[in-house]
A and B are shown apart, each in its own frame.
Chain A
Amino acid sequence: MQTIDSYVDKMRALPPVPRIVPQLMHLLQETDVDSSRVVKLISFDPALTAGVIRLCNTAYFAAGSPTVDLQDAVTRLGFQQVYRLVAVASGAKLFSQSQAGYGLEPGELWKHSIASAVAAQLVARKVGENENLVFTATLLHDVGKIVLASALEGIYVKLLRETEANQGSLMEAEKKLLGVQHAEVGGNLLKRWKFPPSIVSAVWFHHNPQSAIPHHRVASCIYLGNMVAHFMGHGFGHQALAQRGRTEAMTILNLPPDSLPQFMIETFEQLRLVESLISGK
């Protein structure tokens, strides 16, 4: 059995860390955001620069003539849109490989992450949590699966049998077979990447939101966003829904028991918009 650290140490082969995301997050939390600093930060990454300009020129946002200037694009889109685009674009690089150890084809974990993030953001809006923070945390909630996928590749049949035979969760099976599970590995990784403690803790405990105190509200938003995505079919891999029901996620956020279908409907409508934005159509 290996420790969390030993798994995360092996992660040098990962694509470049979305370093810009925590920096941008800190910047946007300032009361008087300096747009030139935002522009400077994004301009370090040519792909992001292109993405922001392209988003600005899509039909949804295009008002007047198209722009080729990053500063102009940031001004027109507004910081919130830019921030979400950067988070999505940075994550897409990270999640682009297949995670065969979980039965995931290339892109599937990423699709799940986006659907979860959109849903969690709607939950955050409803309960008055920080939407951008919840969006980013949820986008990265399964980053630990990227780390563990290769370790699981040879033994995923065992993992499946373990969850089916014991009616256990995937996470419990990971812990039993590998000694670690994806949520704690993901939390550890984000800590090394200097994400704020709220994101680290909420990702670490996204399957047990109560344990994330004092960040249990963020963790509960991730938990519910993840659940909404799974219920809508945006969950992939073997035994995709083998996870524990945590009613405390609802009580922590003071949500009535029947809120989930409502969030599913809102997410359904929001995802159609997001998909058109990402595809640029």
Chain B
Amino acid sequence: MKPNIVPEENSFDPRPTLRPILVPMGTFAVVREENTLLYTSPLGAGIAVAIYDPVTKVAGLLHSMLPDSRINRGLAKARPGLFLETGVTGLLEEAFRLKAQKENLVIYVAGGALILDPSAYFNVGLRNYEILKSTLAERGLAIHAEDVGGQVNRSLHLNTARGEVRTQITGQPEEQLLCKR
């Protein structure tokens, strides 16, 4: 489902028209433009990590599928975004290259859906979230707001004009604003 990027008719919404950039699974994108909407396809058990520096206006979005790259080192080299561990590194490196400052970074996270499985046999979503948290912690970074877990399939939209993050659940028309925890 494509995010809603056109302001409603007759509204006095001052939003400029945003340039949408899809971030498919296994990739990340970093921009330094204010009029962009970075958005993922639905995440499933995968996780989206959005970063935003409100001072330099650098914004980035990662869409990972699995926690760590030990399962397939070769693929991780070709597609670092597929794994959270290598994806976060790639995302941050690119953001810093565009002059984002670590102390300014605001981090939003969505995804990591789970099925009903008390045995935790099928807990890919949970392991994704745990690895992400430890990967960020190692770098002295924390999550600002998140929408993770549950049985819903959602996507994440990052509006670089406002530094605003929304999530959208498949099958539900409205987007949800991702607020500070």
Contacts and interface: CB of A to CB of B under 8 A. Distances in A.
Contacts of B116: 167-169, 242-245
Contacts of B172: 103, 238
A257 B121 CA distance: 7
A268 B72 CA distance: 13
A233 B22 CA distance: 14
A198 to B, nearest CB: 25
Contact of B115 (A236, A243, A262): A243
Given A232-B46, A232-B65, A245-B119, A240 B171 contact: yes
Nearest to A247: B121
Nearest to B150: A241
A260 B124 contact: yes
A234 B44 contact: yes
B71 interface: yes
Nearest to A242: B151
A239 B151 contact: yes
Contact of A240 (B1, B122, B151): B151
Q: Which of A237, A240, A262: most chain B CB closer than 10 A?
A: A240
B121 A250 contact: yes
A104 interface: yes
Given A103-B170, A264-B66, A231 B125 contact: yes
A168 B115 CA distance: 10
Interface string B122-154: 101100000000000000000000000011110
B115 A230 contact: yes
A265 interface: yes
A163 interface: yes
A168 B151 CA distance: 10
Nearest to B46: A233
A46 to B, nearest CB: 33
Which secondary structure dominates where chain A touches chain B?
Answer: loop
Contact of B152 (A240, A247, A257): A240
B125 to A, nearest CB: 7
Contact of A237 (B26, B114, B122, B171): B171
A128 to B, nearest CB: 23
Contacts of B119: 245, 247
Q: Which of A163, A239, A247, A262: most chain B CB closer than 10 A?
A: A239
A102 B152 CA distance: 13
A231 B151 contact: no
A97 to B, nearest CB: 16
Contacts of B75: 265
B44 A230 contact: yes
B117 interface: yes
Interface string A148-176: 00000000000000010001110000000
Given A232-B45, A247-B121, A257-B121, 12 more contacts: A103-B171, A108-B170, A230-B115, A231-B44, A231-B125, A233-B43, A237-B171, A239-B171, A241-B44, A245-B121, A264-B65, A268-B65
Interface of A: 102-105, 108, 163, 167-169, 227, 230-245, 247, 250, 257, 260-262, 264-265, 268
25 contacts: A103-B172, A105-B1, A108-B170, A231-B45, A231-B65, A231-B125, A232-B25, A233-B25, A233-B43, A233-B44, A233-B46, A236-B42, A236-B153, A238-B170, A239-B171, A241-B151, A242-B151, A243-B116, A244-B117, A247-B119, A260-B124, A261-B66, A262-B71, A265-B71, A268-B26
